[in-house]
Amino acid sequence: MEWLVGFFEASGLAHLAWGNLLMIVVGCVFVYLAIARGFEPLLLVPIGFGIILGNMPFEPGMGQGVYDQGSVLSYIYFGVITGIFPPLIFLGIGAMTDFSALIAQPRLILLGAAAQLGIFFTLLMAIFLGSRLPFLDLAGDDPLRLLRAAAAIGIIGGADGPTAIFIASRLAPDLLGAIAVSAYSYMALVPVIQPPIMRLLTTREERLIRMPPPPEVDRTQRILFPIIGLIVCVLIVPDTLPLLGMLFFGNLLKESGVTERLAKTARSALIDSVTIMLGLTVGASTQAGNFLTPRSIAIFALGACAFAISTAGGVLFARFYNLFTNNKINPLIGAAGVSAVPMSARVAHTLAQEEDRQNYLIWQAMCPNVAGVIGSAVAAGVLLVILR
């Protein structure tokens, strides 16, 4: 009997807590949404399974989790906490992104900038709440810690998971798990969160606006854009180099026409491998003991607020812009100014087609969408310069 008792005490059942069960259910919901509802399976399946994996109970001291030195998961998680994985993700994104729409319609870049409003609004909100609600534990006794935590939370509004991880790893490592899961969750739920906001803030007449197709962009312009874009952005905000440097490098591999093998690797095998490791370990970092806290709940709430405000900012700016021009913008594409590429652009196109089946907005929406990727990275760089 003693060996049976010893076996049970060493098993996970002896250490199973309600928090572990709750987080396992959350992980199963993520997997369900990915498989049954098609909500960004490349993100939610690794994260959801990682949440289940990270909340498997085991005897203390076994050293199996991402926070246990020497474990397999901790070695993979090293790429998250040191900010190695996000630039590699940006390399793959650059290799699969066509910036032609942005080059052909530079005025729409403003929509990508306006959609970063949620970042700074939420930053201020996090500072306000963190300074008045001590149980959130955002500040401790260090005002600079509060500012860094608020900046890391605010970046969720850009709907850019890699950027959120990159900033959190540098400014608020203790919030990394909650911020990463929150950012990727809202990215995956773009088709659920954005449409009600877009319908609320636009009229049917505005949703029916047709925009002409963007003009053709020649190969020389496409090759020069990543080079010039890198130089301009990094000279203005040097801290954007790790993210935008890899984004523009990946795009140059794609557009040069002479490095197709490298571009193909970056946009397929490389980004897929990094996504697997990043998603799995980010999910595994949400261990119930560290994750089920008022602070994590507040981060999720602030993240939702940031994402909603960013969506609204892009739509409302498009409406404001239309007051001063005869060449009207369909305000739906303003919501695509968040960095969720190409999900938010696809949502804008789908909503326009609900009103008019002949209204094709996907290429116009891609302009603020890719501008939002650059905009969120620039916003992150500005915060790093100020708060590092």
Name the band, by pLDDT with cuts 50, 70 and 90, for residue 134: confident
Q: What is the pLDDT of residue 268?
A: 94
**Statement: residue 187 has pLDDT above 90:** no
pLDDT digits 0-9 by tens, 49-60: 999 998 888 766
* Average pLDDT value over all residues in the chain: 89
Q: What is the pLDDT of residue 133?
A: 78
Over the chain, what HEC string results? CHHHHHHHHHCCHHHCCHHHHHHHHHHHHHHHHHHHCCCCHHHHHHHHHHHHHHCCCCCCCCCCCCCCCCCHHHHHHHHHHCCCHHHHHHHHHHHHCCCHHHHHCHHHHHHHHHCCHHHHHHHHHHHHHHHHCHHHCCCCCCHHHHHHHHHHHHHHHHCCHHHHHHHHHHHCHHHHHHHHHHHHHHHHCHHHHHHHHHHHCCCHHHHCCCCCCCCCCCHHHHHHHHHHHHHHHHHHCHHHHHHHHHHHHHHHHHHHCCCHHHHHHHHHHHHHHHHHHHHHHHHHCCCHHHHCCHHHHHHHHHHHHHHHHHHHHHHHHHHHHHCCCCCCCCHHHHHHHCCCCCHHHHHHHHHHHHHCCCCCCHHHHHHHHHHHHHHHHHHHHHHHHHHC
The percent of residues in the chain predicted with pLDDT above 90, rounded, is: 59
Q: What is the pLDDT of residue 289?
A: 79
